[in-house]
Amino acid sequence: MKSGAASQNVLPHARKILRFFAANKEKISPLLILTHDYPDPDSLASAFALSHLAQHMFGISCRIVYGGIIGRTENRGMVNILQIPAYKIKPADFKKFTHAALLDTQPAFENNSFPKNRRATIVIDQHPVVQKPDADLVILDPDCGATSVILGQALLHAKIEIPSPVATALAYGITSDTLNLYRAGRPDIIQTYLGILPYCDLRALGRIQHPQRSRHFFTTLGRGIQNAMMRRGLIVAHLGPVESPDFVSQTADFLLTYKNIQKSAATGRYKGKLHVSLRISNPNAEAGEILRDVFSNRRDAGGHNGIAGGSFYVGQALDKSAWEEAERTFVERLLKRLRINAKGDFHYPFR
């Protein structure tokens, strides 16, 4: 990246990462790199980029791990096509690795598998702080659009070769978290994307973005559309049992594109938890703060700008009425937080 290409408040992130690795490369190897649970493209891409930077520039041995599953078709395709070496976390990993880096999440968040009694070595994230992380290297930038932007800038500033799979992952991580740069609120976000783009495999990127989908995807989406209810610019869909929590966020994204809708929410039942996604068309909205106010435990939810998500435990093997009560309570609290009159009736635009 040319000098001055990124704004002056951002380039220090890249320098800080490089200085830290240079000073601690022998101490922190091997390094465990942890994404948030059910990792999305930004989390996977930033972990992939950090691993490449650490190993190929500083000789630090790394292992990328995640909790939950990689459920969304695009995300599985991303891992398979780009051959991202990401593995399901095992309890033994935390015994084997003394040092850990958290990417696109923070130790205080409930969306990762990092032990509460452990201290992280590195935390790099784009989300607002709930509790200031205690780590040797902490880089938090809630305005950067995607954690992939921070890692992309570090690779460009390091002036090392960026392999096509790493660049392609970063490009997808950036566009997926910024709605194809629509939510890019700073010039350096676009500049970083353009700096990475020449190294990308655009055919691979196209295959990731436009995968073949399962029958379950279409039946779940169809159920969400059929059950979607709307009131005063808000549309809500309860998906019921889902194969993966990623279906919930995907449905919320899709419903936000409906005409005259400013806010969308979706819920899905998965392994005893009700997973929730909230989307707001205003890129400057505080969706994460709104969802935290709706949840009983604020740590169960998070987000930034117009994107938020979270989950809370309802219970295993519950009858239908218990789940419906949890969904109904969520909607009532969301309406109250958004100051939408709860006495009005929802209507079903797709029935």
Confirm whether 342 is domain-assigned: no
pLDDT the model gives residue 10: 56
For residues 31 and 82, membership in a common domain is answered with yes
149, 184, 209 — which closes off a domain? 209
The CATH number covering residue 282 comes to: 3.10.310.30
Confirm whether 142 is domain-assigned: yes
Q: What is the mean pLDDT of the chain?
A: 92
144, 175, 209 — which closes off a domain? 209
For residues 199 and 220, membership in a common domain is answered with no
164, 192, 209 — which closes off a domain? 209
For residues 41 and 160, membership in a common domain is answered with yes
For residues 193 and 220, membership in a common domain is answered with no
Q: How confident is the model over 234-259, as pLDDT tens digits? A: 999 999 999 889 899 999 999 999 99
Residues 6+ away with beta carbon under 8 Å from 250: 72, 221
Confidence of residue 58 (pLDDT cuts 50, 70, 90): very high
pLDDT the model gives residue 342: 74
Would the pLDDT of 318 be above 80?
no
For residues 46 and 169, membership in a common domain is answered with yes
The CATH number covering residue 136 comes to: 3.90.1640.10
For residues 48 and 188, membership in a common domain is answered with yes
User: How crowded is the C-beta side of 320, counted as CA atoms within 13 Å?
Assistant: 3
d(CA 229, CA 348): 5
Cis peptide before 241 (omega within 30 of 0): no
Determine the structural domain holding residue 298 and report its residue range: 216-337
Confirm whether 200 is domain-assigned: yes
* Cα 199 from chain centre: 23
pLDDT the model gives residue 3: 34
Give the strand order in the sheet containing 122-125: 86-88, 62-66, 31-34, 99-103, 122-125, 137-140
For residues 59 and 157, membership in a common domain is answered with yes
Confirm whether 202 is domain-assigned: yes
Residues 6+ away with beta carbon under 8 Å from 115: 94
Residue by residue, what is the 3-state secondary structure of the chain? Answer: CCCCCCCCCCHHHHHHHHHHHHHHCCCCCCEEEECCCCCCHHHHHHHHHHHHHHHHHHCCCEEEEECCCCCCHHHHHHHHHHCCCEEECCHHHHHHCCEEEEECCCCCCCCCCCCCCCCCCEEEECCCCCCCCCCCEEEECCCCCCHHHHHHHHHHHHCCCCCHHHHHHHHHHHHHHCCCCCCCCCHHHHHHHHHHHHHCCHHHHHHHHCCCCCHHHHHHHHHHHHHCEEECCEEEEEEEECCCCHHHHHHHHHHCCCCCCCEEEEEEEECCEEEEEEEECCCCCCHHHHHHHHCCCHHHEEEECCEEEEEEECCCCCCHHHHHHHHHHHHHHHHHHCCCCCCCCCECCCC
Confirm whether 54 is domain-assigned: yes
pLDDT the model gives residue 217: 87
Looking up tokens 């101490």, which residue turns up? 27
d(CA 239, CA 148): 30
For residues 197 and 257, membership in a common domain is answered with no
pLDDT the model gives residue 79: 98
Q: Output 2 or 135, whichever has higher pLDDT.
A: 135
Q: How confident is the model over 273-301, as pLDDT tens digits? A: 999 999 999 877 889 899 999 999 988 99
pLDDT the model gives residue 2: 37
CA dihedral 103, 51, 189, 10 (to 10 degrees): 80
Confirm whether 26 is domain-assigned: yes
What end-to-end distance do the CA atoms of the chain give, in Å?
52
For residues 193 and 318, membership in a common domain is answered with no
Q: What angle do CA 22, 108, 299 make, to 5 degrees?
A: 150
Looking up tokens 């090392």, which residue turns up? 160
Residues 6+ away with beta carbon under 8 Å from 344: 231, 232
pLDDT the model gives residue 213: 87
Percent of the chain residues topping a pLDDT of 90: 80
Confirm whether 4 is domain-assigned: no
d(CA 32, CA 12): 24
d(CA 238, CA 253): 14
Count other Cβ atoms within 10 Å, centred on residue 231: 17
Would the pLDDT of 4 be above 70?
no
pLDDT the model gives residue 310: 93
For residues 71 and 97, membership in a common domain is answered with yes
For residues 149 and 274, membership in a common domain is answered with no
Percent of the chain residues topping a pLDDT of 70: 97
Q: How confident is the model over 163-211, as pLDDT tens digits? A: 999 999 999 999 999 888 887 889 999 999 999 999 999 999 999 999 9
For residues 284 and 200, membership in a common domain is answered with no
Q: Total domain count for the chain?
A: 2
